[in-house]
Structure 1
Amino acid sequence: MDDPDIVIIGAGHQGLVCAATLAEAGLRPLVLEAASTPGGAVASGELTVPGLVHDVCATNMNLFLGSPFHAVHGEKLASLGLRFARSDAPYASAFPDGSSLRVTTDEAATAAMWAGHSTADAAGWRQLRGVFDDFAAAYLPIYTHPFPSVQARHSLAALRRRSGGTELGELGQVLLSSTRALGERYFATPEARSLVAAWGMHLDYAPDIAGGAVFPLLELYADMLGGMSIVEGGAGRLADALVALVRELGGDVRCDARVTGIDVGTEGVRAVLVGDQRIPARRVVSTAVLPITAALLSLDRRPATVARSARDYRFGPGTFMLHLAMDGEIPWADPRLGAQAYVHIGPYVDDMARTYGQSVAGQLPDEPLLVVGQTSVVDPSRLSPEGYRAVWIQVRTVPSSPGAGSWEHLAEGFAEQVIDKLDRYAPGVRGRIVGKAHLSPADLERRDANLVGGDSVSGSHHLDQFIGMRPGLAISRYRTPVDGLYLAGAGTWPGAGVNAISGQLAAEAVLRDASGRLGQLRRRLLRR
């Protein structure tokens, strides 16, 4: 490719979505990726035994499938080899007495499950479903637009008008609630409350953090309605299909191309530096988290708003990944769990609260939350030639830097601790393990620089660093005070997850500015 029209830093899925959107509009984007393969956290590989494919980090593709980008490009991506495997039994929680709560897309069966567990919880599930219906209709348009924006304001107004069966005051209380408070408001038993709180831990919402209720509210019912999907054959195939799409549209993707600097002059961005190579570029979209992006700018060209927001940007606790190759299914104490895509093992809300506190204090948690992904159950193609099955376990949360030593020395012992915990809920599971691989927070950051300290969501999602505050109040709409420099990725709204949103919204911001409409005014306002 000759000199590109725009350079995109990072070939994670958001960078590739951004490139495809720009290329479709007639620009020639060049995506530069430091790693040897594209995808970032959306990657897969044979981690345990030959022929058995594991999703390295991200696995749940529901957000991608529900995105505006997929609505437009899904058919083309399918022609490029992208397929999804779907489970009608999306999630469950397991408990020490051998019982479980199991949610499926069969709403009648799920209602019967709740009725058999607790009549009070069954009533709470129905009541909370009404809150979800009222909230989701307005929130989803907010989720897919910049914030703040005219569209977001209209969606908030619609939320006020659409009360359905939910009083506006009740809706407001739910949205500001912690996951513990949400559970206690609608459910009577510790098991049901645990089911709610477990979803908050996927981000960095410990049970007692305000605003943590929104993500669980959406996941509880959206997954029941839509099931859970993963990429057939491995998450890396999503990145491969996006790369093929970018190239077919006239863009390019280069791996093993670590950006070492962004050259900025008085008129804005001038070039991107890759080692000794200088690639002229008047426009750059960085999907690196803000502290990394800011460090690419020379000190004398780093605007105060960018420097301040980068300094204040916070990362949450780490994640530990454990991948198992199994000879047979997981022998759950409750065999009905064998059909579920995800099984959460907390077991209870207080355990999750203690785990989070231990993690931020640098201590290895004694009862970490396990998110057990039964990959080969969802995607039967994920079998080795010998018939071994892939199991994906995300451990939330763990310390980024343990106070008792380094992850290099602690990881193997901690992996055994995780297996011991799984064995308590699935007696005999250890005897079926034929291969294992683990990735500590340090390993995750080495694989993907955006996962600072092993933070799998690339920055805290607490209220002061979310919605219009991500990554900072003055730069929350994908533009920066540096002419020609834009931001995308998990460090921007709407945050983490394979959602394909920020890449497209950043591309749209580039295209609007390229057309000249309001571009100069916006940049003057950002400099103030």
Structure 2
Amino acid sequence: MTTADAVVIGAGHNGLVAAAMLADAGWDVVVLEAQDGPGGAVKSAELFPGYVSDLYSAFYPLSVVSPALLALHLEDHGLVWSHSPAVVGHARSAEDDDAPVIFRDIDRTAAELDRHHPGDGDRWRTLFDQWLLIREALLSTLFSPFPPVRGPAALLRKLGTSEALRLAHLMLLPAGVMAEQLFDGDAARLLLLGNAMHADVPIDAPGSGVMGYMLIMMAQDGGFPVPVGGAGQLAAALVNRARAAGARIEYRQRVDHIEVRGGRAVAVHTAGGDTVQVRRAVIADTSAPRLYRDLLPSEAVPAGVLRSMDHFVWDTPVLKINYALDEPIPWRSKSLNEAGTVHLGADHNGLIRWMADLNTATLPERPFMLFGQMTTADSSRSPAGTESAWAYTHLPRGVADDASADRLAARVDDVLEEHAPGFTDRVVGKSVQRPSDLEASDANLHTGAVNGGTSQLFQQLIFRPAPGFGRAETPVQNVYLGSAAAIPGGGVHGICGRNAARAALAGDGLLGWPRRRLNQAVLSLVTR
């Protein structure tokens, strides 16, 4: 039996951020990870000799703007970023030989969009100028626990009341409506729509435009960088940083349950029989259902929360295919040759049909996909003149069996061959990650859901992970949810871990007593 100030359950990127912050504050921190290595959904491996494949996440626009990760100075702990020559492109159809692309140079992007539709280049510049003005305030608003205070106040100061209201209205628009209001041509509109599909919100649903807006602006601002050597290098830097602060990380330690006495966590027990006594806090980098249903004793969780977990909505399952190619990809549209991220398989109407398939348990005939050219973004990923790549799409909820996954994987190959004739002839290695594979390697990726739960409005803000939350605090005084299941949700930004660590520090000891009492009073009102 050992003792620690804090136990962090899970060595995903959020857990490692929390561990580093608590260790920086002088706490004795132990991280318990069920798998045999760190990173959660931030990992890479050599699936094919000489080719490095990112197993889950791959491009990191949120990481390079996240205050949680920036504060850790990971570049001092081994992290090096790399960029593709172009950021992201969107092929409108299989016949599209002139796909629009975002470049990190705004002059090139504006000229590209003007070429597709005169005037959209200026519209893009205007939008980007506003982004530069409001970036910090907007990110503070989106990244803060609910209710955010400083971010909205800063937005009001910078924009004034009327412009701030217009921005709030813009952020609530469906992606399709937002695209039509911001741009006149299909090229710019589809760049926004394709990026909106990085979340699981239908493009005709309110609030679905936020992700599209954020990602196209981040693409223009900081690009979509990748860690040199693979996604695992980001996880390695986080481990180095947490250990440098004094945190201990133990692998192959699956937590079985959290012991609670008097409304507080007092110990964490592993499946192997080990126990860590807790002096101050437990931070769970786990899914919300696992924390509330499995780890905490049922008598410590209000009945209303347990009922909410029965109705917790996961995001749609992911199918991911890793490829090794012996030559560059022969795109029909040569503009995609330099893009790290490529969106394929659907125009505006096609995206609506694809999402309708997912929401009606229909296996898509023509899947929309994200496609990553990793060697294009980082030359260390495979030998010169070759490409390490992946495709990523979704299955409907409830049909994520292996047979469905294999049928969809074949359709992904068909779409790629249409957009890049000769693609399949250049494939020398292929590996399919089905939803069951994703969950087996990371329990947080339940049924292949990679976002910690749907991003739709009914499960965001004060409804994440259940009505009445919106913060890292839980009904147990010193237990905090620090995963993508907590606000602000999925993405490799570390904010969920930061919010949990901050809440633990603020709620500790005698000085934290009023805060704990207030949080418990609020939660008791909304979680009965």
Is the TM value for this pair above 0.5?
yes
Matched, 1:101 2:100: yes
The CA distance in 1 between the partners of 2:488 and 2:410, in whole Å, is 35
The CA distance in 2 between the partners of 1:324 and 1:442, in whole Å, is 19
Amino acid at match of 2:40: G
- The answer to whether the 8 A contact 1:84-1:229 is kept is yes
Cα 1:27–1:94 change in 2 (3 A) is same
The CA distance in 2 between the partners of 1:294 and 1:237, in whole Å, is 32
Q: Secondary structure at the match of 1:87?
A: coil
Amino acid at match of 2:20: A
Aligned to 1:21: 21
- The answer to whether the 8 A contact 1:324-1:437 is kept is yes
The CA distance in 2 between the partners of 1:133 and 1:458, in whole Å, is 29
Matched, 1:407 2:401: yes
- The answer to whether the 8 A contact 1:134-1:164 is kept is no
Q: Deviations over 1:109-152 (max 9, x none)?
A: 1111111111153354344435544553431122343221xxx2
Aligned to 1:3: 3
* Aligned alpha-carbon RMSD (Å): 2.1
Amino acid at match of 2:114: A
- The answer to whether the 8 A contact 1:6-1:30 is kept is yes
Matched, 1:236 2:222: no
The CA distance in 2 between the partners of 1:239 and 1:420, in whole Å, is 34
Q: Secondary structure at the match of 2:489?
A: coil
Amino acid at match of 2:230: G
Q: Which runs of 5+ in 2 are unaligned?
A: none
Q: What is the deviation of 1:305? A: 4.6
The CA distance in 1 between the partners of 2:217 and 2:347, in whole Å, is 20
**1:117-516 matches, cutoff 5 A:** 117-129=116-128, 132-133=131-132, 135-148=134-147, 152-163=148-159, 167-275=163-271, 276-282=273-279, 283-295=281-293, 296-384=295-383, 388-395=386-393, 397-402=394-399, 407-516=401-510
Q: Secondary structure at the match of 1:479?
A: coil
Q: What is the deviation of 1:527? A: 3.1
- The answer to whether the 8 A contact 2:17-2:494 is kept is yes
- The answer to whether the 8 A contact 1:324-1:435 is kept is yes
Amino acid at match of 2:476: V
**1:56-75 matches, cutoff 5 A:** 56-74=55-73
The CA distance in 2 between the partners of 1:172 and 1:2, in whole Å, is 49
The CA distance in 1 between the partners of 2:117 and 2:339, in whole Å, is 21
After TM superposition, which residue ranges in structure 1, 4 or more long, deviate above 6 angstroms?
Answer: none
TM-score normalised over the length of structure 2: 0.93
TM-score normalised over the length of structure 1: 0.93
Amino acid at match of 1:415: A
Amino acid at match of 1:335: K
Cα 1:145–1:88 change in 2 (3 A) is farther
* 164-173 or 472-481, which deviates more: 164-173
Q: Secondary structure at the match of 2:275?
A: strand
Q: Deviations over 1:15-41 (max 9, x none)?
A: 001001001111111111111211111
- The answer to whether the 8 A contact 2:308-2:466 is kept is yes
Q: What is the deviation of 1:155? A: 2.1
The CA distance in 2 between the partners of 1:323 and 1:357, in whole Å, is 26
- The answer to whether the 8 A contact 2:300-2:475 is kept is no
Q: What is the deviation of 1:309? A: 3.6
* 444-453 or 409-418, which deviates more: 409-418
Amino acid at match of 1:287: D
Q: Secondary structure at the match of 1:175?
A: helix
Q: Secondary structure at the match of 1:119?
A: coil
Amino acid at match of 1:73: L
Amino acid at match of 2:482: A
Q: Secondary structure at the match of 1:453?
A: helix
Q: What is the deviation of 1:169? A: 4.7
Identity of aligned residues (%): 33
The CA distance in 2 between the partners of 1:171 and 1:440, in whole Å, is 39
Amino acid at match of 2:329: I
- The answer to whether the 8 A contact 2:64-2:222 is kept is no
Q: Deviations over 1:264-319 (max 9, x none)?
A: 12242121121233322242111112111012222222223532442332112111
- The answer to whether the 8 A contact 2:434-2:448 is kept is yes
The CA distance in 2 between the partners of 1:123 and 1:79, in whole Å, is 39
The CA distance in 1 between the partners of 2:315 and 2:120, in whole Å, is 32
Q: What is the deviation of 1:95? A: 2.5
The CA distance in 2 between the partners of 1:504 and 1:168, in whole Å, is 27
Q: Which runs of 5+ in 1 are unaligned?
A: none
Q: What is the deviation of 1:53? A: 0.9
Q: Deviations over 1:136-176 (max 9, x none)?
A: 3431122343221xxx2232133234337984453233111
Cα 1:259–1:135 change in 2 (3 A) is same
Q: What is the deviation of 1:392? A: 2.0
Cα 1:52–1:153 change in 2 (3 A) is same
